[in-house]
Structure 1
Amino acid sequence: MFVLELTYTAPVERVDALMQAHVAWLDTQYTAGVFIASGRKNPRDGGVILAVGDDRAQIEKIAAADPFAVEGVCAYRITEFIATKTSDELAPYRQQLP
């Protein structure tokens, strides 16, 4: 599983101008089963996405296609972790330690 942390690198007005395209990109990843949660950080200086997958390179490729990244209004920090404990609702995403 991955935590994708977005930090805005441009004024919020530029971010907002791209929001519709960003949300469409998010929707595509939810439909594909890659993203399971996302939202703005508070204070509003970026966002966080929880993604499932085993291939870091694929997650990096997906992040690079975000209109925010394409247009240079955010930077991504991607952290991989092993979700060994989850709520019952997220049980399908539980992982075993290697």
Structure 2
Amino acid sequence: MFILSLTYVRPNDEADRHMEPHMAWVKEGYSKGWFLASGRKVPRTGGVILAIGDRPAIEAYVATDPYIIHGVAEYDIIELAVTTTVEGLEILKG
């Protein structure tokens, strides 16, 4: 499993200008079966996506995020070897 932690490197109003294409990119990640959950950080300094899949493919996909393309955010990709889950979340044990 991967924790995709994005941090804004530009003001929130600039992030807002690219929000629609970023959210289309997020929805595509869900349709590919890679993204499991996502949301904003609190306070609003970026966001987090929980993902599964092949690391090179995830890294390549992250590079296509409009936030990356337009220099709005940077990503930290953290790989997590999940060993224990509550019932129903076994998919996280990649």
Q: Does TM, scored on the shorter chain, surpass 0.5?
A: yes
**Which residue in 2 is equivalent to 1:3?**
3
Separation in 1, partners of 2:73, 2:35: 18
**Which residue in 1 is equivalent to 2:27?**
27
Separation in 1, partners of 2:43, 2:2: 22
Structure 1 residues not aligned, in runs of 5+: none
What is the total number of aligned residue pairs between the two structures? 94
Secondary structure in 2 matching 1:88: coil
TM-score w.r.t. structure 1 length? Answer: 0.91
Of structures 1 and 2, the one scoring higher in RCO (CA 8 A, sep 6+) is 2
1:55-93 per-residue CA deviation (whole Å, 9 max, x = no partner) reads 221111111111101110000000111111122221233
Percent of aligned positions that are identical:
47
Secondary structure in 2 matching 1:89: coil
TM-score w.r.t. structure 2 length? Answer: 0.94
Out of 80-89 and 57-66, give the one that drifted further: 80-89
